[in-house]
């Protein structure tokens, strides 16, 4: 199984900050990586797929990059509604696996 490791597990930030979350795969997954945002009590929401493709309707302050084993999710200017937990997920091979999550908090 491909292990997905996110860092940091939590980050404290302020409105307007630039926030970067990293995700590392235990083996190469090309660009088969997605990022999701989850708020408390809600279902996850797709932000980025294919490592860097922005899902329709997602604000452009979210961006993704990387390929192979190392990936990043960047929020260019943190907004109040962005405080949430973020997960990466690989779709290179079964079983599909998620990172452990990164909580972005004030």
Partner 1 sequence: EVQLVESGGGLVQPGGSLRLSCAASGFTFSDHYMDWVRQAPGKGLEWVGRTRNKVKSYTTEYAASVKGRSTISRDDSKNSLYLQMNSLKTEDTAVYYCVRVLLYCSGGNCHSTFDYWGQGTLVTVSS
Which span sits near partner 1 by CB under 8 A: 10-18, 36-44, 58-66, 69-77? 36-44
| Residue 62 contacts partner 1 per CB under 8 A | no
Q: Considering the complex, what minimum distance in angstroms separates the CB of residue 17 from partner 1?
A: 24
Which residue number, 19 or 47, has a Cβ lying nearer to partner 1?
47
CA 12, 90, 69, 2 dihedral sign is positive
* Max Cα distance, the chain (Å): 38
Kindly tell me the burial class for residue 31, based on how many C-beta atoms sit within 10 Å of its own C-beta (0-12, 13-18, 19 or more). middle
Binding site for partner 1 (CB under 8 A): 1, 30-32, 34, 36, 38, 42-46, 49-50, 53, 55, 87, 89, 91-92, 94-101
């Amino acid at each position: 199984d491909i292990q997905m490791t996110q860092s940091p597990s939590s980050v404290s930030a302020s409105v307007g900050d630039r926030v970067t979350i990293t995700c590392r795969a235990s083996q190469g997954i090309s660009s088969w990586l997605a990022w999701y945002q989850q708020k408390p009590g809600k279902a996850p929401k797709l932000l980025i797929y294919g490592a860097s493709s922005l899902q329709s309707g997602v604000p452009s302050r979210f961006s993704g990059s990387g390929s192979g084993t190392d990936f990043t999710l960047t929020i260019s200017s943190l907004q109040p509604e962005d405080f949430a937990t973020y997960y990466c997920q690989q779709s290179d091979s079964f079983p599909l696996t998620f990172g452990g999550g990164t909580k972005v908090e004030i």
